Amino acid sequence: MSYRPRDRLAEEGIGHATSTDGIHWTEQPPVIGRGEPGSWDDAAIYTGSAIEVAGKYYMLYIGLTNADHLQRVGLLTSDDMFRWERFAGDPVIEPDPRWYENPQAPAPDGRVEFSETSRQTLDL
């Protein structure tokens, strides 16, 4: 199981715990921590979803940067669910500025709208 540690801020990374019965859990070393200063995930990390495809594990996660405060989606890979590596092409999904507006810049009629979407696909 991956999780956001409750005793630490999301800024620290994604936690990892294992269980043989779903009741008693053993904390493992973290999956990942924040990226290096200046990277796309240097401000915060939020847990995502993991899947298995042909014996390899893939986890999508959210990263937040200090530079522009936008969330992006990164990809982690693992052969054993204990040692995870960032995908070299991260981030794999970026917000498209055509589909969102800066909420601090209202439209001429005074409306403020904000939405975020992506139509990117990943070839695993």
pTM of model > 0.85: no
Whether the predicted pLDDT of 19 surpasses 60: yes
What mean pLDDT comes out for the span 99-106?
Answer: 54
Write the DSSP string, 50-88: EEEETTEEEEEEEEE-TTT--EEEEEEEESSSSS-EE-T
Q: What is the DSSP letter of 103?
A: T
- pLDDT at 1 exceeding the cut of 90: no
Domain ranges of the chain: 2-99
Q: CA torsion sign, 44 to 46 to 90 to 29?
A: positive
Q: How far apart are CA 55 and CA 57, in angstroms?
A: 7
CA distance 85 to 75: 8
What are the tens digits of pLDDT across the range 23-44?
A: 999 988 888 989 999 999 998 8
pLDDT digits (tens, 9 = 90+) for 43-98: 888 877 889 999 999 999 999 888 888 889 999 999 999 999 999 999 998 887 66
